[in-house]
Every structure is written in structure tokens, then in C-alpha cells.
Chain A
């Protein structure tokens, strides 16, 4: 059944693939008597409770990892700011003209780190919290949202927070798929 495959993929986001398969198998077996609404309700309740279990049981570890990733993000921002300063100076000296920061080249220059840094942070979260990527991403997203409320330091709306978090999730998904592929290769 296609819907059951989708259910398995949803659950595999929050637990290991073999656990997701056995849990979906249990729910499938019970759905024969309880019906499909119960199956989906059980699936979503399980998917919702598993990430928070990790956060509740290892709050220091998960929060520490989120702080580490935030520090890495700030470090990368500072590095990019330094590189931008050097690039500005270099271009200004070489051309002898005032800079046009609205030009396509500079727009790409500013956009690339905004896209690459969250992806890298997501990948880093996946590397450091194998099998628990989603809880780590959730805590990181909460931390970044709080950080962005700080007027002097946070993102002041130039790059939507939601898009940044989606990119972190994409990076984590990429890191997770690479890890699972490596595990499969080792098993073969």
C-alpha cells in the first residue's frame, strides 16, 4: 500500500529506518481491526513524541549541540563579513570606482553564504546527533529564533528565519541520507 510507504518515510524522519518499518508494521497489523484513521493518528502521535523524548532525556546534550551550531553560524557570519570587507577593499582599489553592491555579482556574493551556512549547520547537526537529527534541528530552530529576536545580533528580516530553518532541515536530511548510505554500503 502506497500510503503505508509514505507513513514509513514520515516515521523514518524521527527514528532509524528499521524501527520505523517495525512500528509501521505494528500499526498496520492493528489497523486491520481499528481502521485507517487510528493508523494515521497512531503514526502522527508516535512521530510527534519521539523527537521530544530525546530532548526531554538529554536536554544538556541537545541544547549544547544547538549552542555549538549557533556559535559556528556566528563564526561563519564573522568570517564572511571579514572576507566581504577584504573583497570590497580589493575591488575598490583595483577598479578605482565606487562599489555597486546592487550588481548581480555582489548579490550572488551575499546570497551564497546565506544559503550555504544553514545547509552546513544542518549537516553538522546530522553528523553530531546521528539518528536524532530532528530533535537537534528543533532545538536549534528554537535557539536561532530566540537569537534573532536580539536586535543588534539577530537576523533583522533580510533573510527569512523560516527559510533558514528549512535549509538547516535540508542540510540535516542530506547528512542523514549520506550516513544511511554509508551504513548500507558497510552492511553489503
Chain B
């Protein structure tokens, strides 16, 4: 895997959260999804810098939605994985899986 496509742990978490959320992935829902699935409460600074970085790397795309009153009339920025992002997360997860093969970890099972 080229170094340019290597993903950090939090980048993988964010990409997987976006993947899980589908069409409803924006800052608030991504943070909530990470919290639900991992128990982490990501700091806004960490989340938005990671989203910016992933977009700069060309792994995700973003589009502006419609403004809503509960957001003070500000639009949501929806994120979506593109083909490059999907390939990167698949490669990263395959690497983890290869590392886990043969390891005996309690309460960890791979389907």
C-alpha cells in the first residue's frame, strides 16, 4: 500500500462512520455515530480537521445541503465516500484483518 494512501486510526473511524450514515453524513451525525459505535466523543477540532484532510486527500467529497432554522439558517455540509476512499478503507481493514489472523483476542470475532 503506498504511503500516500495510508490512513490513521481516527481517519478510518471517520470514514467508516460516513459509510454507515450514507446520505445523512454531516458533522453532527458523524460525531454521534462515532460516539454510538466507539464510545468516543470526538473533539470538534479533531473531527473537522480530519474531514478537511480526508477531502484534501481525495477520499471523500462534500456538498452543501439546505439551510435549516435550528442551525441559525446555516447549511449542512454532507460528506460521502468516493471510490478512492472506499478502496482506502478496504485496504486498511484488510491489513488489520491480516494482522489479526492467528491472534487470539478475547471477544473479537470476524465474520
Residues of A within 8 A of B (CB): 1, 4, 8, 15, 18-19, 21-30, 32, 42-43, 45-46, 48-50, 53, 57
**A46 contacts B45, C-beta separation under 8 Å:** yes
Residues of B within 8 A of A (CB): 26-28, 31, 43-46, 48-49, 52-53, 56, 64, 67-68, 70-72, 74-77
**B45 contacts A26, C-beta separation under 8 Å:** no
A30 to B30, CA, bound (A): 12
**B64 contacts A18, C-beta separation under 8 Å:** yes
Which residues of chain B are near A29, meaning CB under 8 Å?
A: 28, 70-71
In the complex, how many angstroms separate the beta carbon of B52 from the nearest chain A beta carbon?
A: 7
A8 to B75, CA, bound (A): 13
Which residues of chain A are near B28, meaning CB under 8 Å?
A: 26, 29-30
Q: Is the interface of B mostly helix, strand, loop or mixed?
A: helix
**B75 contacts A21, C-beta separation under 8 Å:** yes
Known contacts A29-B71, A57-B53; decide if A22 and B76 are in contact (CB<8 Å). Answer: yes
Contact of B44 among A32, A45, A53, A57 (CB under 8 A): A45
In the complex, how many angstroms separate the beta carbon of A117 from the nearest chain B beta carbon?
A: 32
In the assembled complex, 21 residue pairs joining A and B whose CB atoms fall closer than 8 Å, in A order, are: A18-B64, A19-B52, A22-B26, A22-B27, A22-B74, A26-B28, A26-B71, A26-B76, A28-B70, A42-B43, A42-B44, A45-B44, A46-B45, A46-B48, A49-B45, A49-B46, A50-B49, A53-B49, A53-B53, A57-B53, A57-B56
